[in-house]
Amino acid sequence: MEKKYLLILLVITLVLLPVHFLQKIFTLHKQCTNCFFLQEKHMVKEKSFLTPGFNMDEFTAIQQTRVDVLTLTPWIAPIVWDGTFDPAVVHALHPPDNLSIILAVFVVGNYWSFLQPFLESAGKYFMPGYNVTFVVLTERVGENAPTVSLGGPGRTVKMMQAEKFDAWHENALRRMPRLLQMLEDNELHFKPDYFFTIDVDMLFKAEVGPEILSDLVTFLHPGYFGTSRSHFPYERRQASLAYLSQTQGTFYFGGAFYGGHPESVIAMLRQCWANLQDDASRGIIAVWNEESHLNHYFALKRPPTLVLSPEYCWASNWALPSQVHFARVFSVAKNNFRLHGKR
Ligand SMILES: CC(=O)N[C@H]1[C@@H](OP(=O)(O)OP(=O)(O)OC[C@H]2O[C@@H](n3ccc(=O)[nH]c3=O)[C@H](O)[C@@H]2O)O[C@H](CO)[C@H](O)[C@@H]1O
Ligand SMILES: [Mn+2]
């Protein structure tokens, strides 16, 4: 009798179990398909919500195309590489109307010859279609800026006075207090939505667009991306306020290009300039001048909200590694001994 029951139980189990599993697999598949479908619908809906009038035909499925590089910092700020963003979507998110942008550049002493090619390339490739005031800070303010096409009526050059110092490093680091003064005193009589500054020994080679717009922006120095922290040329002397220990800092950022919302840039410039002055009062100049203080600020005070990849400042005489598809901005090869003096 017991044997009979056991047999029935066995038959029931053998029949029901596969049916149950088949059912499970089927519903799971259905759920997944639904879930993917919903996700896709949601994404499309979100995009059209964020960007009214955005052409749906331009919508391309989002997929992780860059797996060869880090695309997020540990504090979840994007690291912008080619392929990590859709230019049309980013453009639609930042409509050019009513957006004002400043790009400030210093041309002091024998750097004047960099200005014309810089402006020509920036006029063409820096935020095309947006209102940009290219602010040229120079001791030669009475002279005409080179006449170049800047790509539209909302794009102008404004010459502003800057002091010339004897030492190269002084000219480089003194950019900070001058920019601070310009922004704090509202010397341009308008507050831009975004403020950027860049070295003059640079050439734009491809579009640098609204993907760079964020609260506090910097870039990965091309010489140190992918290298370990122990190789970063942070200031290692404890006497300097730019000091970072072997366990501090995540990336090495270059000093050539940074920006963001004016308030955030002002806060950063104030802190860096105060530290530079404090160091100077004790006879210390950080190893890479203001760049060392910027790295200290980003490491310990406030991390950037967006990090540009080395595409945004590659060295013109360096080969491109596979991760750098192309350089949007090149730093021009120059004779540092001649321009920097003894350093
Ligand atoms: C690619 C990069 O991250 N470059 C940084 C690097 O050296 P760099 O060798 O790139 O510095 P640099 O010689 O280009 O000087 C920085 C900039 O200051 C201006 N300038 C400088 C000297 C001068 O006599 N006249 C003049 O106009 C000019 O705009 C120049 O481009 O380290 C410097 C440390 O201070 C700055 O942080 C630079 O931004
Ligand atoms: Mn430079």
List, for residues 291-315, the tens digit of each pLDDT value.
999 999 999 999 999 999 999 999 9
Q: Which ligand is nearest to the CA of 272?
A: 1
**pLDDT for 9:** 74
- Are 223 and 313 within 8 A, CB to CB? no
Give residue 247 CA to ligand 1 midpoint distance, Å: 28
Residue 234 has pLDDT above 90, yes or no: yes
Fold of 79-340: Spore Coat Polysaccharide Biosynthesis Protein SpsA; Chain A (3.90.550)
Nearest CA to ligand 1 atom 1: 256
**pLDDT for 18:** 63
Range with lowest mean pLDDT among 45-49, 79-83, 127-131, 274-278: 45-49
Cβ–ligand 1 contact at 106 (below 6 Å): yes
Residue 44 has pLDDT above 60, yes or no: no
Q: In sequence order, what are the residues at sequence separation of 6 or more whose Cβ sits closer than 8 angstroms to the Cβ of residue 324? A: 222, 309, 310, 311, 314
Distance CA 146, CA 116 (A): 6
**Atom number, ligand 1, closest to the C-alpha of residue 290:** 35
Q: How confident is the model at residue 53 (pLDDT cuts 50, 70, 90)?
A: low
Cβ–ligand 1 contact at 172 (below 6 Å): yes
Tell me if residue 291 is catalytic. yes
**pLDDT for 328:** 98
Distance CA 329, CA 71 (A): 19
ipTM: 0.98
Closest CA to 286 of 224, 228, 222, 239: 239
Closest CA to 81 of 191, 254, 212: 212
Selected residue with higher pLDDT from 33 and 7: 7
